């Protein structure tokens, strides 16, 4: 059971925030609107040398499987292919039965558009990993407005990004390299008016 819990903690469905990585953005961010989040946990699953963490769950090939919390609620469900690897649509659930994450898996590796939800069912994040460790991320406030959008490269936020106020107005725009701000970031007020440029 300890091994099972350890593996579950490493699953790509569980995302955390890396506050240390993004201290540079504190002046253009608030507690409710982080500039960036760390999506490396998900992208690590794309490393071909890593074993599929669901190995411990494997059942007979070509079967649809369900896995449950210790308290009995459905936690994961999805298919295995003839090679006994996860394949097709996979979902993770909150204990209240709402979907927590869903997306496609190809030969045991996450691919395409993955969606993550708040516990009340509203969209929290979309991660497009159609291009290996590269892709595109969108994050949302609980009111449905977008909070962040930008590119990823080699598993880190990289390239041009935009950050938004909770009311939907643009808050900041600039470039990121390997998860850190570089060059010029333009900052905007809650009514969408440009008021400052910060150089990194």
Q: How does pLDDT run across 98-118, given as a tens digit for each residue?
A: 999 999 999 888 889 999 999
Over range 31-49, report the average pLDDT: 41
CATH of domain 2-154: 3.90.930
Q: Which residues make Cβ contacts (< 8 Å) with residue 124, sequence separation at least 6?
A: 116, 117, 118, 139, 140
6 pLDDT tier (thresholds 50, 70, 90):
very low
pLDDT digits (tens, 9 = 90+) for 17-28: 333 333 333 344
Q: Does the pLDDT of residue 42 top 90, yes or no? A: no
- Please, are residues 138 and 37 in contact by the beta-carbon 8 Å criterion? no
For position 143, what pLDDT does the model report? 95
Q: Does the pLDDT of residue 71 top 70, yes or no? A: yes
For position 61, what pLDDT does the model report? 64
pTM of the model: 0.69
- Could you tell me the sign of the dihedral formed by the alpha carbons of 142, 24, 188, 151, in that order? negative
């Amino acid at each position: 059971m300890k091994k099972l819990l350890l593996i579950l903690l490493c699953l790509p469905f569980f995302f955390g925030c890396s506050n240390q990585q993004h201290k540079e953005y504190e002046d253009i961010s608030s507690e409710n609107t982080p500039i960036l989040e760390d999506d490396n946990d998900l992208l690590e699953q794309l490393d071909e040398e890593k074993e599929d963490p669901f190995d411990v769950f494997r059942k007979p090939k070509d079967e649809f499987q369900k896995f449950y919390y210790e308290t009995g609620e459905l936690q994961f469900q999805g298919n295995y292919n003839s090679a006994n690897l996860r394949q097709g649509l996979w979902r993770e659930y909150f204990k209240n039965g709402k979907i927590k994450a869903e997306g496609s898996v190809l030969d045991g590796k996450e691919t395409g558009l993955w969606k993550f939800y708040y516990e009340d069912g509203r969209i929290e994040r979309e991660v497009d990993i159609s291009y290996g460790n590269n892709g595109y991320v969108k994050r949302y406030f609980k009111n449905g407005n977008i909070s962040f959008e930008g590119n990823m490269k080699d598993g880190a936020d990289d390239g041009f990004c935009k950050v938004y106020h909770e009311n939907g107005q643009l808050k900041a725009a600039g470039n990121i390299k390997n998860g850190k701000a570089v060059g010029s970031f333009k900052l905007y007020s809650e009514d969408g008016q440009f008021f400052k440029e910060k150089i990194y």
